[in-house]
Amino acid sequence: MITYLKKIISESPNHYISYADFISAALYHPDFGYYMKEKVKIGRKGDFITTSNISDVYGRLVAKWFSKIYKQYELPLVFCEIGAGNGRFAHAFLMEWYESVKIPIEYLMVESSPFHRKLQKELIGSVYPVTQLETLEEINGFEGMIFSNEFFDALPVHVIEKENGNIFEVMVGIENNELFEKKVPLSNQIIVQFLSEHKLELKEKQRFEVPLVMEKMIEDISKIITKGLVVSADYGYINEEWMQPARLSGSLRGYYQHQMLDNILQHPGEIDITTHIQFDQLIQKGEQVGLEFVTKLRQDEFLLKAGILEELENHFDPNPFSEQSKRNRAIRSLIMPSGISSYFHIIIQQKGLKEDMAKIF
């Protein structure tokens, strides 16, 4: 990876690349990128964990919720998961669907990593019918629900910083095989336009991630969907929260064997890189491209509205060592005030639906 980075940096103007270019290479290069490698990344043996890998409850509950939503809004039985990872969410969703709903559903799994697509096949196999896709470009005229869980946080971002009243872009250079940062006066007019459109005024010494790739992804989602819902689960902040003192250093982080790294230039290609997403920008960009904002909920609020407490009530087991009791503990961990769900939000957008979206729950 270092050899490749050295090449693209040396060939770049001024011998620097943007953080967005660095993250894109470190995560998605077909040979050296972290997500592309044949390496376990999610779970105890990996570097991080997701909600859907804590328990099958999450995927099952979304399946139950979709079984109500599709009837209510007369949606085709088509469910598309973007960034489907190792397939754990899809497996749980489809188990619940065929056990409870018992009617055919078209399930699309969009995943760029060949290794993860292989894991999906191994887990789901021939048990449930799914269609594996590499990119959104393979979909057209979509009607149904598009769902993602911790997808936007893994997209590349540019990094800017305000210093002495001026805005600089933080670039990445290399010397003696060591990566380093270099601040240059902001010249990328797309970033300038982004700050103006969203009325963002940085404080002195504030570092901020600019999610241009996220905005492009929202455009791409809107292009392929003609009727349905877009449901995005992720962690992030609204503009007001971004301006708080605790956020002045930004949110770009790396994860290696469940340890957080502040310096993501370490071990390129070997660590997960993530950033908290900007909810206001996701919502505003969606509105601009035809995705109407429906609601934003904390994940535990969403799970409660979707009926997670019924799972506890219907499956009580006094034996603390039983599989059901373990499952119930996982359910509680998803809705406890200090649990994982308190850090996540669900953004729901819609396109082409005329019904009253206030009754979505």
Three-state secondary structure call for residue 60: helix
Alpha helices, DSSP H, located in the chain: 2-10, 19-28, 51-54, 57-72, 88-96, 114-124, 189-197, 212-224, 239-242, 279-288, 299-305, 308-314, 323-335
Alpha helices, DSSP H, located in 212-314: 212-224, 239-242, 279-288, 299-305, 308-314
Residue 61 pLDDT greater than 60, yes or no: yes
Q: What is the pLDDT of residues 100-127, one digit of tens each?
A: 999 999 999 999 999 999 999 999 988 9
Give the mean model confidence (pLDDT) for residues 328-343.
74
Q: What is the pLDDT of residues 20-49, one digit of tens each?
A: 999 999 999 999 999 988 876 565 555 555
Element (H, E) at 158: strand 158-163
What per-residue confidence (pLDDT) applies to 282? Answer: 97
What per-residue confidence (pLDDT) applies to 361? Answer: 74
Give the mean model confidence (pLDDT) for residues 200-226.
97
Of the two residues 351 and 257, the one the predictor is more confident about is 351
Residues 6+ apart with CB under 8 A from 235: 150, 153, 276, 277, 343, 344, 345
Average pLDDT, the chain: 90
Residue 158 pLDDT greater than 90, yes or no: yes
Share of the chain above pLDDT 70, in %: 91
Three-state secondary structure call for residue 133: strand
For residue 164, what is the DSSP state? T
What per-residue confidence (pLDDT) applies to 190? Answer: 97
205, 243 contact by CB (below 8 A): no
Kindly report which listed range (125-129, 162-166, 291-295) carries the lowest average pLDDT score: 125-129
- Token digits for 175? 């010397």
What per-residue confidence (pLDDT) applies to 184? Answer: 97
Element (H, E) at 173: strand 166-175
- Token digits for 267? 């071990």
198, 284 contact by CB (below 8 A): yes
Cα–Cα separations (whole angstroms), residue 130 to 80, 87, 102, 133, 347? 10, 11, 15, 10, 25
Q: What is the pLDDT of residues 78-100, one digit of tens each?
A: 999 999 999 999 999 999 999 99
Give residue 358's pLDDT band: very low, low, confident or very high (50, 70, 90).
low
Give the mean model confidence (pLDDT) for residues 14-19.
96
Give the mean model confidence (pLDDT) for residues 181-208.
96
Domain 34-156+211-235+276-359 falls under CATH 3.40.640.10: no
What per-residue confidence (pLDDT) applies to 54? Answer: 61
Cα–Cα separations (whole angstroms), residue 244 to 250, 316, 349? 11, 43, 27
- Token digits for 169? 């872009």
Please give the biggest Cα pair distance in the chain: 66
Return phi, psi of residue 222, to 5°. Answer: -65, -35
Share of the chain above pLDDT 90, in %: 75
Closest C-alpha among 241, 234, 248 to residue 299: 234
What per-residue confidence (pLDDT) applies to 241? Answer: 94
104, 76 contact by CB (below 8 A): no
Give residue 208's pLDDT band: very low, low, confident or very high (50, 70, 90).
very high
Return phi, psi of residue 131, to 5°. Answer: -115, 120
Give the mean model confidence (pLDDT) for residues 70-75.
91
What per-residue confidence (pLDDT) applies to 343? Answer: 83
Report d(CA 166, CA 345) in Å as an integer: 33
